[in-house]
Chain A
Amino acid sequence: MGMTMTQKILAQHAGLPEVRAGQLIQARLDLVLGNDITSPVAINEFEAGGFTKVFDKSRIAMVMDHFTPNKDIRAATQCQQCRAFARRFDIDHYYDVGEMGIEHALLPEKGLVAPGEAVIGADSHTCTYGALGAFSTGVGSTDMGAAMAAGETWFKVPSAIRVNLTGALRPYVTGKDVILTLIGMIGVDGARYQSLEFSGDGVGNLTIYDRLTISNMAIEAGAKNGIFPVDDVTRAYVEGRVSRPWTAFAADPDAEYERTIELDLGTVDCTIAWPHLPENAHSAREGADIAIDQVVIGSCTNGQLPDMAAAAEILKGRHLAKGVRGIVIPATQTIYRECIRRGYTEIFLDAGCIVSTPTCGPCLGGHMGCLAAGERAVSTTNRNFVGRMGHVTSEVYLASPAVAAASGVTGHLTHPEEVMSK
């Protein structure tokens, strides 16, 4: 019996000829990641463990992105602790305000993750890098602390679900709509402990940014990781970013999958996940009676340049509805600068939005756009849990940048076609 793509990467990193689902392995890590919320706890654990050395200063990334620019004194103190640790061990990839971006947009952009690599991060959306054909998964702070010392960690080899993609996306439909549709099909625990292995002719019709968004939200189906095959789209993205050698792994033809889900991309429509679970998927054509107070366009899920372009296309020459607040957050400094250069920033400002430098802030109700009691947001982020973006009675509707922008223009849940046909 053959192995899935995930299993092949894990076998290689465990130094084993083959691994099986359920097997416990010790695997070498190519990169260990943390942010300003999770790293302080990891540093405490690292110190509690009595470690005095990191395994490799070039294979640890720390990104100050959640509560930055520091939202208060305590957030500043947490960053200070990370900064001191990074200085002490001369960590190569420590990114602070001015050069940071949202971690899961920044690391691929800087070429810190390559196909075939194994990455853990003390952030649940570390699964994003599956889009590049890497094995990557979220862990907690203690695992991060131990991995910074040891350069390896233990895994239970996951069983797999194959998602066979066919066809191509229709206008205004994106990777976000694909993943919200898929989570709607299988539920927030539909892939619990498993890997989501994307395959099929449809993969080639997805941009790298569609794939990054899809892999990013694999965790919202409970998955350990969500991985795409390596093709010309991947190579075009990685080229010029990654200079070290890397390996494209491919699933064996006789790899074992617990089940296969067929998804024709041509049947996917713009989708909104209503409160309070990402599985609560509805067509963006529903909910015209649901009035909103805020739109957020950004995050590790949808803060890339094509996301900004999609929002700008809708907002060009239009204005947010009266009473709607618009918050646009390009995910990295590079994207932020490119938004200015391409005129998107001007479009957003003309539409009545604010444009922030990179931060995770509003996605987790941290800062830069928390919601009051009873308020509703359409957000391009990844979680619509109770109280996620603010008050416990506030509501989050998850959608793509085009849907969020269109909803901002009308003031209620809206399919982009409705705005663009006017």
Chain B
Amino acid sequence: MNAHGTAHKYGDHVDTDVIIPARYLATQDPKELAAHCMEDIDKDFTRKNRPGDILVAGLNFGCGSSREHAPIAIKASGVSCVIAKNFARIFYRNSINIGLPILECPAAGEGIQDGDEVTVDYDTGVITNVTKAETYQAEPFPPFIKEMIANGGLMATLRAKEAARNG
């Protein structure tokens, strides 16, 4: 499992209100949420984002409201992975639960600039900045998180386990 894309870089304390403003929370449709992803912090995001691109940010990414619509919007935008110096805890949990890869790496949050080409190896936790020819080491996912991401989230994993049990 790997990611490869262009980095979109943001600062510290990016909250879930700017990732997906509450005015769009009268829907649960991922595509519609994706159409407004990052709108209040970067109105050009949906125009410049390409499938596989990577969000990179500073401290405490995803703070604030527990709305799962935030990681849903990011994932449905085609973003392959979110890298930040660190994450707010509810956002972290929600991302794993819906199968959005999310990596904590202070060095990558510092070193990667907007527009850099980045690859991520989920097995080793190595993040490569192709543009700057730098690498950063993130903690690789423990097996249960890797399984959840591979299955597409917590519920899909529970279903897969149930199916395996009934075999």
Contact = CB atoms under 8 A, between A and B. Distances in A.
Query: Are A and B co-members of a single complex?
Result: yes
B150 interface: no
Contacts of A77: 26
A37 B25 CA distance: 7
A192 B54 CA distance: 24
B68 interface: yes
Interface in A371-399: 383, 385-388, 392
Nearest to B94: A140
Interface string B60-87: 1001111111011000000000000010
Contacts of A141: 68, 94
B40 A392 contact: yes
Nearest to A77: B26
B115 to A, nearest CB: 23
A376 B65 CA distance: 21
Contacts of B28: 40-41, 44, 78
B17, B23, B63, B66: most-surrounded residue (chain A CB, <10 A)? B66
A75 B26 contact: yes
Given A138-B66, A364-B22, A45 B86 contact: no
B153 A142 contact: yes
A148 to B, nearest CB: 12
Contact of B90 (A45, A71, A124): A124
A387 B159 contact: no
Nearest to A40: B28
A315 interface: no
B136 to A, nearest CB: 21
A269 interface: no
Nearest to B43: A392
B98 interface: yes
A37 B154 contact: no
Contacts of B98: 142
Interface string A34-45: 000110110011
Interface in A28-87: 37-38, 40-41, 44-45, 48-50, 66-67, 71-72, 74-75, 77-78
Contact of B155 (A40, A74, A142, A277): A142
Given A45-B155, A49-B158, A122-B66, A387 B86 contact: no
A142 B98 CA distance: 8
B69 A41 contact: yes
Contact of A38 (B27, B67, B86, B155): B67
A124 B153 contact: no
B57 interface: no
B63 A139 contact: no
B13 interface: yes
Given A140-B97, A141-B68, A192 B23 contact: no
A117 interface: no
A192 B159 contact: no
Contact of B60 (A71, A222, A385): A222
Interface string A214-232: 0000010010100000000
A264 B67 CA distance: 35
Interface residues of A, number: 47
B85 to A, nearest CB: 10
B22 A366 contact: yes
B41 A142 contact: no
A139 B66 contact: yes
Given A38-B68, A365-B22, A386-B41, A189 B93 contact: no
B155 A387 contact: no
Contact of B63 (A123, A188, A366): A188
Contact of A388 (B17, B68, B154): B17
Contacts of B35: none
Given A40-B28, A49-B159, A387-B17, A124 B41 contact: no
A365 B26 contact: no
A237 interface: no
Contacts of B90: 124, 138-140
A126 B40 CA distance: 25
Nearest to B25: A37
B31 interface: no
Nearest to B22: A364
A177 B67 CA distance: 27
B72 to A, nearest CB: 8
B138 interface: no
B59 interface: yes
A50 B159 contact: yes
B130 interface: no
A146 B72 CA distance: 17
14 contacts: A75-B26, A124-B65, A124-B66, A138-B66, A141-B68, A145-B155, A188-B13, A189-B13, A192-B60, A222-B63, A222-B88, A365-B22, A385-B17, A392-B40
Closest 5 CB pairs of A and B: A140-B94, A74-B26, A142-B97, A140-B68, A364-B22
